[in-house]
């Protein structure tokens, strides 16, 4: 018999939580807090309520002292929504983590220059040491040599930089610009290692509230926690968290553990979004992690959750998924599950699945699977500078030309090309018309790559840009851009497995090399995906969103991600010795990462949920989910 929730008498059982938070919000006796707020619990509402309380009680005092309340959230969209709810009150500084950190370090030009000098010098020493141990003539040796040249070039140019620039939402290609990773590292180092900066920070922001704290960069989170411990009498930090929704790899894994005993730990229990059946499912999914159990609203329907299992090699996946949609329309008596007017949000567990279906798999694989993970986050959110060169500059020019829109082509080049920068124009004096001609010819050379139905690779495009100087090349691509033809031939031919550790190519440069050899045509599909113009979504793209009808597609063989394993989570594969070791030591693992992603996707559902699993062993999956209590017998179907 199906287990059911007791009906709660009060849909507002979490109201006391906002009162608890308000009690912490004192400038005289600040109490830092860690708020657990699961999916659909109204976390943003609690954040806004806390900020409105501060505005009501402390506006005059904060303004007299020249102080502000700092609020960090994950996306620009979230920033805009919070600002709107606060009537754009300038007393509350709402920003993304990159914008916030830049507001702290921007203008510290001498200190930034010294930090970069030390970092570049150490990098060069490290590369030289590896170069001395490796074999000459290999791709690894060539990569290191070009990296050394690039870092030396940047190092030698530091003295000429008067002011560093940074755009949290831009590409930061100039010689005086910092990249996103550098801003985070510099900010964390400055905050942790400089008592005066800590004191200035606390004086300016006596209260700091961090939304989506589980995904805030580990280095910065540790810096903020250190500041809180050292200045607890005059600095309050509030963390709004659901650890089960941590999806990025650079967050602090053990956030919330070993907090000081004087921290408050309020928790929200109500889920206002999901139907009762889906809440039961997501409670089961997370039960082995932290036993945080959510309650449904009294006015929510029971809802539906169904699991459909198919063999991993169906002849036509799209046809199989349409069959599931039709089956859900029958089960739920909801016509919007199928037909021409269907309104379904299809979520995938991994970007590989979308990339395969949309046509940008080849360009995804090297950047997404790069071993250090440096490129992954920027790839996922569309901020990777090396990619934006192609998606934000070259693609718009190509599309404008295809649409015979020469005015737009000219506008893009005028705005972004160093050939037409104010400094260059000023230096050219009477020769400015020749400079305009050079920019026009460079643009024509680029567009000629697509003449006669040409299909250039990313490398073809990059080499053309390098040759003409049409656009600034980002630092990540400069070692590749500096290669001559003979050196590039070595890279493409000398790709064998090196015998020594020192002979392995730089993983980041190797990833870029493999990416550059793929077709440029893929960038249009990728751009549509990261800009939200696709019918598909992944876990990263939907956190915080909700949809009436959700279809989740699970297919480890198609995902090909080594970081996740639904086969293991759903019992189709046995855990490895490494998995068992990670479990016993409390380390993160592919199974736990997968569990979190499953939780995020399932918890988007407002009415009904269909989960499709492609598996080599459907019966084993069925047995496992039934034994775990995730589903009842009549909720699982094996389709042939």
Q: How does pLDDT run across 497-551, given as a tens digit for each residue?
A: 444 445 555 678 888 888 999 999 999 988 888 776 666 665 555 666 889 999 9
- Residue 79, both tokens: 């920033």
Q: What is the pLDDT of residue 29?
A: 95
Residues 286, 592: Cα–Cα separation, whole Å: 10
Residues 114, 296: Cα–Cα separation, whole Å: 55
Q: What is the mean pLDDT of residues 52-63?
A: 96
Q: Tokens 């000098």 sit at which residue?
A: 117
Position 52 confidence tier, pLDDT thresholds 50, 70, 90: very high
Say how far residue 545 (Cα) sits from the centre of its chain.
Answer: 16
377-414 pLDDT, tens digit per residue, is 777 777 788 888 999 899 999 999 999 999 999 999 88
110-146 pLDDT, tens digit per residue, is 999 999 999 999 999 998 988 888 877 777 788 888 8
Q: Tokens 């609203």 sit at which residue?
A: 297
Residues 282, 274: Cα–Cα separation, whole Å: 10
% of the chain with per-residue pLDDT over 70? 88
Position 585 confidence tier, pLDDT thresholds 50, 70, 90: low
Domain 15-101+182-271 CATH class label: alpha beta
Position 638 confidence tier, pLDDT thresholds 50, 70, 90: very high
C-beta separation of 210 from 238 below 8 A: yes
The full DSSP string for 416-472 is H-GGG-HHHHHHHGGGHHHHHHHHHHHHHHHHGGGGGG---BHHHHHHHHHHHT-SP
Q: What is the mean pLDDT of residues 471-493?
A: 79
pTM over the 0.75 mark: yes
Higher-confidence position of 584 and 123? 123
Q: What is the pLDDT of residue 273?
A: 94
Residues 8, 13: Cα–Cα separation, whole Å: 9
Q: What is the pLDDT of residue 249?
A: 67
Q: What is the mean pLDDT of residues 305-309?
A: 96
Q: What is the pLDDT of residue 150?
A: 86
C-beta separation of 244 from 231 below 8 A: no
11-26 pLDDT, tens digit per residue, is 888 889 999 999 999 9
- Spell out the domain ranges in the chain: 15-101+182-271, 109-176, 276-349+555-639, 361-529
- Beta bridge partner(s), residue 637: 308
Length in residues, the chain: 640
- Residue 568, both tokens: 């293991």
Number of alpha carbons in the 13 Å side-chain half-sphere of residue 616: 8
Q: What is the pLDDT of residue 539?
A: 52
Residues 372, 364: Cα–Cα separation, whole Å: 15
3 state SS of 596? helix
Cα dihedral angle (516, 521, 527, 530), rounded to 10 degrees? -70
Pairing status of strand 345-348 against strand 547-554? parallel
10 Å CB burial of residue 190 (0-12, 13-18, 19+) is: buried
C-beta separation of 256 from 289 below 8 A: no
10 Å CB burial of residue 364 (0-12, 13-18, 19+) is: buried
3 state SS of 136? coil
The yes-or-no verdict on residue 635 having pLDDT over 90 is yes
Pairing status of strand 69-73 against strand 536-538? unpaired
The yes-or-no verdict on residue 480 having pLDDT over 60 is yes
Under DSSP, the state recorded for 217 is B
Q: What is the pLDDT of residue 22?
A: 96
Q: What is the pLDDT of residue 587?
A: 67
Residues 404, 402: Cα–Cα separation, whole Å: 5
Lowest-confidence region among 152-156, 163-167, 297-301, 351-355: 351-355
Q: What is the pLDDT of residue 586?
A: 66
- Residue 363, both tokens: 């360009």
Higher-confidence position of 562 and 358? 358
Q: What is the mean pLDDT of residues 610-633?
A: 91
Q: What is the pLDDT of residue 92?
A: 95
Give the chain's mean pLDDT. Answer: 85
In sign, the C-alpha dihedral spanning 136, 139, 140, 144 is positive
The yes-or-no verdict on residue 157 having pLDDT over 50 is yes
Under DSSP, the state recorded for 9 is S
Residues 96, 78: Cα–Cα separation, whole Å: 9
- Helix orientation angle between 180-193 and 218-230, rounded to the nearest 10 degrees: 20
The yes-or-no verdict on residue 199 having pLDDT over 50 is yes
3 state SS of 551? strand
Residues 25, 292: Cα–Cα separation, whole Å: 25
Higher-confidence position of 313 and 297? 297
Question: Mind spelling out the 3-state secondary structure of 235-300?
Answer: CEEEEEECHHHCCCCCECCCCCCCCCCCCECCEECEECCCCHHHHHHHHHHHCCCCCCCCEECCCC
3 state SS of 371? coil
Higher-confidence position of 422 and 370? 422
- Beta bridge partner(s), residue 241: 36
Q: What is the pLDDT of residue 282?
A: 95
The yes-or-no verdict on residue 496 having pLDDT over 60 is no
Task: Quickly count: other Cβ atoms within 10 Å of residue 9's Cβ.
Answer: 7
3 state SS of 348? strand
- Residue 210, both tokens: 């961090």
445-455 pLDDT, tens digit per residue, is 999 999 988 89
**Residue 453 backbone class (left: φ over 0; alpha: ψ -120 to 50; beta: rest):** left
Position 302 confidence tier, pLDDT thresholds 50, 70, 90: very high
């Amino acid at each position: 018999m199906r287990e059911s929730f007791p009906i709660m008498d009060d849909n507002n059982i979490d109201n006391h939580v906002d009162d608890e938070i308000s009690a912490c919000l004192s400038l005289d006796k600040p109490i830092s807090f860690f708020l657990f707020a699961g999916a659909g619990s109204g976390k943003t509402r609690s954040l806004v309520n806390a900020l409105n309380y501060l505005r009501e009680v402390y506006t005059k005092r904060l303004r007299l002292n020249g102080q502000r309340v700092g609020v960090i959230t994950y996306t620009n969209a979230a920033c805009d929504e919070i600002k709107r709810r606060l009537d754009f009150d300038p007393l509350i500084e709402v920003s993304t983590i990159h914008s916030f950190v830049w507001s702290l370090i921007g203008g510290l030009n001498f200190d930034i220059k010294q930090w970069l000098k030390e970092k570049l010098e150490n990098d060069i020493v490290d590369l030289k040491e590896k170069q001395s141990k490796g074999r000459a003539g290999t791709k690894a040796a060539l990569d290191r040599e070009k990296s050394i040249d690039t870092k030396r070039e940047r190092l030698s140019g530091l003295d000429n930089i008067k002011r560093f620039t940074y755009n949290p939402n831009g590409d930061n290609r100039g010689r005086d610009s910092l990249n996103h990773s550098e801003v985070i590292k510099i900010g964390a180092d400055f905050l942790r290692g400089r008592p005066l900066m800590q004191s200035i920070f606390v004086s300016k922001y006596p209260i700091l509230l961090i939304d989506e704290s589980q995904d805030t960069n580990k280095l910065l989170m540790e810096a903020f926690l250190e500041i809180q411990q050292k200045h607890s009498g005059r600095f309050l930090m509030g963390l709004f968290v659901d650890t089960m929704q941590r999806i990025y790899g650079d967050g602090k894994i053990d956030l919330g553990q070993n907090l000081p005993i004087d921290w408050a730990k309020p928790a929200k229990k109500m889920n206002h979004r999901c139907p009762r059946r889906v809440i039961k499912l997501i409670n089961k999914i997370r039960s082995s992690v932290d036993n945080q159990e959510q309650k449904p609203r009294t006015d929510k329907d029971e809802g539906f959750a169904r699991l459909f299992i198919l063999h991993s090699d169906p002849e036509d996946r799209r046809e199989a998924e349409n069959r599931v949609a039709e089956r859900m329309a029958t089960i739920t008596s909801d016509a919007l599950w199928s037909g021409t007017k269907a309104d379904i949000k299809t979520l995938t567990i991994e970007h590989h699945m979308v990339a395969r279906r949309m046509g940008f798999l080849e360009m995804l694989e090297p950047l997404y699977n790069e071993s250090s993970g440096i490129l992954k986050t920027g790839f996922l959110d569309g901020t990777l500078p090396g990619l934006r060169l192609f998606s934000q500059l070259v693609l718009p020019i190509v599309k404008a030309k295809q649409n015979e829109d020469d005015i737009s082509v000219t506008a893009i080049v005028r705005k972004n090309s160093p050939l037409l920068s104010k400094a260059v124009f000023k230096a050219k004096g009477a020769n400015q018309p020749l400079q305009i001609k050079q920019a026009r010819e460079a643009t024509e050379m680029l567009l000629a790559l697509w003449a006669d139905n040409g299909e250039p690779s990313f490398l073809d495009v990059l080499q053309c840009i390098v040759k003409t100087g049409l656009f600034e090349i980002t630092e990540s691509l400069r070692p590749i851009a500096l290669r001559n033809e003979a050196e590039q031939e070595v890279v493409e031919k000398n790709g064998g497995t090196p015998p020594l550790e020192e002979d392995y190519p730089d993983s980041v440069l190797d990833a870029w090399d493999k990416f550059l050899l793929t077709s440029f045509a893929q960038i249009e599909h990728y751009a549509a995906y990261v800009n939200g113009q696709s019918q598909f979504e992944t876990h990263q793209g939907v956190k915080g969103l909700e949809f009436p009808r959700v279809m989740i597609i699970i297919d480890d063989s198609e995902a090909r991600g080594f970081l996740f394993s639904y086969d293991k989570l759903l019992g189709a594969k046995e855990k490895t010795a490494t998995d068992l070791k990670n479990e016993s030591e409390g380390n993160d693992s592919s199974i736990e990462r997968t569990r979190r992603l499953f939780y995020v996707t399932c918890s988007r559902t407002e009415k009904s949920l269909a989960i499709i699993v492609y598996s080599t062993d459907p019966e084993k999956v069925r047995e496992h989910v039934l034994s775990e209590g995730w589903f009842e017998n009549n909720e699982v179907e094996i389709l042939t």
